[in-house]
Structure 1
Amino acid sequence: MREGYDGSGPGAITPDGCSVEVYARLPLYGEPDIIAAAVPEAARLLELGCGVGRMTGPLVERGFTVTAVDESAEMLERVRGARTVRSPIESLELGELFDAVTLTSFLVHAGDEGVRRGLLDTCRRHIGDDGCVIIQREPLDQRARLPYERVDPAGFTVRMSSEPAGDGVDLMRAEYVFPDTVWRQRFLSRALTREAFEAALAESGLRVDRYLTDDGTWVRAVPTA
């Protein structure tokens, strides 16, 4: 388990504290539609941090060729319809270029700035000058709303809270309460203003092409000229 990260509950827990079973149970919230509308038709996609393939399968069904990457073997066992690669994202070196890369699940908010830079560098080195990166980031008011409790229409409850861990990093606590069991996770996350987010992109040779949603959560980035 990574320092500052842990998880508990039935089944396999990944090095960053995620429950494989929780991700297998989570519904989709329109993510494949957002991605599909922002990338070329029938594109070759590199999906970083694919988890159990919640988005992988729907993207394959939409005609995309997907290479799905995750560091958890237990997560990758659930992925269907795509080539899979087991690797930490920040050290991935496939030696290939893709039409688009996706970095979702708020991974860009990694508490360690070096890890965040590694994630974005991986995105950049796997696209050509005409490629794009689709990034999911926190809504701008996310931290201000903590702690919160949300009852999902799918029939489970999510509780989130945080406490300062120093140097702009928060220790986040997540609890997923299902009718039959509970999973808990702790992880480190760094809040990013829009300015800080765009500066981080620039460090890796990327820039915002456009924000895809009104709340700024989904972003299409492209290589800097």
Structure 2
Amino acid sequence: MSGRLTRQGHTGTGPGAITPDGCAVELYARLSAGAEPEVIGSVVPPGASVLELGCGAGRVTHPLVALGYEVTAVDESPQMLERVRGARTVLSAIESLDLGQERFDAVVLGSFLVHSSEHRVREGLLRTCRRYVKDGGSVLVQREGADYRTGLPREREDAAAGCVIRILSAEPVGDSVDEVRAEYVFEDAHWTQTFRSRQLSEERFEECLGEAGLVVDRCLTPDGVWVLARPDER
């Protein structure tokens, strides 16, 4: 990713390029979007401008483009961005993104990025969301469900991709941070990913958004994983 070194506690194995945060490019090109485009579409009007932060290989980008959104897709991995089609792409770390005076109808921060183990990174991510959303616009944030770190190991099937996804463990490494191990099993390939993730209570999550100038509007999914936030215009 933009020449950055591998991050502490973030590793990955498997075929093809692995980004410094442990993400396998080919893996993320294979995974399906699931219900995420529909969740975004439930609150973002057709034809709106969308800033997708941490787009990866276009797993969600491509369905959004197909739905008629004008997508600007941001990632700090050039290998990931090479896989994105139909959207404007920007190579940048999210926390240092510079798009001048541009503003968007909606900003999407998915992939549980809000759980970054580094406070300064999380603060930078959320401030970028606030900076680039229009007044009255939408910020959609994906966070961990209440049971994300319990009942491990567990698995689920991504039938559309032909993959079994297993969360193997979440071992504490201090200060509310866990080192999470996951694996992705296809008939013809196998990947692993290890990353560090900070637990955020409901109260702390809302505090983090508030510190960035955002306020929670409502949850968009019954499990509370997708949250709609708005600019705090007080």
TM-score (norm 2): 0.93
SS of 2:217's partner is strand
The structural deviation recorded for 1:93 is 1.6
* Matched letter for residue 181 of structure 1: A
Percentage identity across aligned positions? Answer: 61
Please show how residues 119-198 of structure 1 align to structure 2 within 5 Å.
119-154=125-160, 155-160=162-167, 161-198=169-206
Spell out, residue by residue over 1:26-61, the C-alpha distance to the aligned partner (whole angstroms, 9 max, x if none): 112111111011113311110000011111111111
2:212 aligned residue:
204
**Greater CA drift, 177-186 or 204-213:** 177-186
CA distance in 1, matches of 2:50, 2:32: 21
Letter in 2 for 1:7: G
- Identify which of 76, 85, 97 aligns with 1:92: 97
The residue that corresponds to 1:21 in the other structure is 26
Q: Does structure 2 retain, via aligned residues, the 8 Å contact 1:140–1:193?
A: no
Rounded Cα–Cα distance in structure 2 between residues aligned with 1:152 and 1:42: 29
Letter in 2 for 1:121: R
Within the alignment, does 1:38 sit opposite 2:37 as a pair?
no
Distance 1:92 1:146 in 2: 36
Structure 2 residue runs without a partner (length 5+): 1-5
Question: 1:46 is aligned with what amino acid?
Answer: L
Given residue 204 of structure 2, which amino acid in structure 1 is its aligned partner? A
* Among candidates 92, 117, 132, match of residue 123 of structure 2: 117
User: Per the alignment, in what secondary structure is the counterpart of residue 42 of structure 2?
Assistant: helix
Match of 1:51 in 2: 56
Return the alpha-carbon distance in structure 2 between the equivalents of residues 221 and 45 of structure 1: 15
Q: Could you tell me how far apart the structure 2 residues matched to 1:145 and 1:206 are?
A: 32
Alpha-carbon distance in structure 2 between the residues aligned to 1:64 and 1:153: 26
Q: Which amino acid aligns with 1:143?
A: R
Q: CA deviation at 1:114?
A: 1.1
Shift in Å, 1:2: 1.2
Measured in 1, the distance between the counterparts of 2:157 and 2:63 equals 25
Q: Is the 8 A contact 1:152 1:158 kept in 2?
A: yes
Number of the residue aligned with 1:220? 228
Are the counterparts in 2 of residues 93 and 122 from structure 1 also a CA contact under 8 Å? Answer: no
Shift of the alpha carbon at 1:150? 2.6
**Pairwise CA distance, 1:210:** 1.2
What is the one-letter code of the residue matched to 1:109?
A: H
CA distance in 2, matches of 1:175, 1:57: 24
Q: Tell me how far apart the structure 2 counterparts of residues 192 and 14 of structure 1 sit (CA, whole Å).
A: 25
